[in-house]
Amino acid sequence: MASPAVTLSWNSSSWLNNRTLTRTTNEGTTKISDKSSTFLVLAQKKAKKTRKIILIEDVTDVGKKGQLLDVKAGFYRNFLHPTGKARIVTPVLLKEMKVEEERIEAEKKRVKEEALQLARIFETVGAFKVKRKGGKGKLIFGSVTAQDLVDIIKAQLQRDIDKRIVSLPEIRETGEYIAELKLHPDVTAQVRLNVFAN
């Protein structure tokens, strides 16, 4: 035989005055009154609300661009989101980030390969000839500068290079010298210079 359905309900309108419980069964409704009972209320700890975000730009004392972080919801809502410094992480965003990382890696690899090819070209050319007005003995008037080397490379190889990547010893005499070109953080080419006096 099935047990009769029992429902306990709290009459909230008069809970301070009566504290009455109502019991409903198949036989009817009975009221149970308990004026002396005490209630125990348990408070739950406030949950820490955090958001998983990705930084769109560097934020001081928080992190670097592209970094995944957990931050407090209020910090994200009140500072990071309005200033456009972060976005909430979603699967679509993670996929976009992965595609962007792969594109950046491919670009870095391409730039390094280009620098290696350019280094091979510079090293197989031989020596670049520089003519200057001669002085006493081996001395020349003035000196050979990085800009002079850049101009010679442009004239002979039709390649534009930045003079800031050229490292030259001090050249004030005729002779053979070695210049270094920092084409990439990992690639350095050595170029020979023959300095002649007119």
Counted residue by residue, the chain has a size of: 198
**In 3D, which of 197, 198, 196, 192 has the Cα closest to residue 177?**
192
**In 3D, which of 152, 139, 164, 141 has the Cα closest to residue 191?**
152
Q: Which residues of the chain form CATH 3.40.5.10?
A: 50-92
Q: Determine the pLDDT at residue 197.
A: 85
> Which residues are within 8 A (CB) of 50 and not within 5 positions of it... i.e. 6 or more apart?
70, 71, 72, 73
Q: What DSSP character marks residue 184? A: E
Which amino acid does the sequence have at 116? L
Q: Determine the pLDDT at residue 94.
A: 87
Q: Which residues of the chain form CATH 3.10.430.100?
A: 121-197
Which amino acid does the sequence have at 118? L
| pTM greater than 0.75 (yes/no) | no
Residue 68: strand pairing partners: 54
Bridge-based pairing state of the strands 175-184 and 166-167: antiparallel
First CA to last CA distance, the chain: 122
Q: Determine the pLDDT at residue 1.
A: 47
Instruction: Please give the structure tokens belonging to residue 27.
Output: 């036989």
Pick the CATH number of 50-92 from 3.40.50.620, 2.60.450.10, 3.40.5.10, 3.40.50.720: 3.40.5.10
pLDDT (tens place) for every residue of the chain, 198 residues total: 455 555 544 455 444 555 555 555 566 655 555 555 566 666 677 777 888 999 989 998 899 988 899 999 999 999 999 999 999 998 998 898 899 889 999 999 999 999 999 889 888 887 888 888 888 888 888 888 889 989 998 988 888 888 899 999 888 888 899 999 998 898 998 999 998 887
Superfamily of domain 121-197: Ribosomal protein L9, C-terminal domain (3.10.430.100)
Coil, strand or helix at 192: strand
Residue 88: strand pairing partners: 53
Tell me the per-residue pLDDT of 128-184, one tens digit each, with 9 for 90 and over: 888 888 888 888 888 888 899 899 989 888 888 888 999 998 888 888 999 999 988
**What is the torsion angle, in degrees rounded to the nearest 10, for the CA atoms of residue 120, residue 123, residue 125 and residue 130?**
140
Residues 188 and 119: beta-carbon distance below 8 Å: yes
**In 3D, which of 108, 107, 85, 89 has the Cα closest to residue 97?**
89
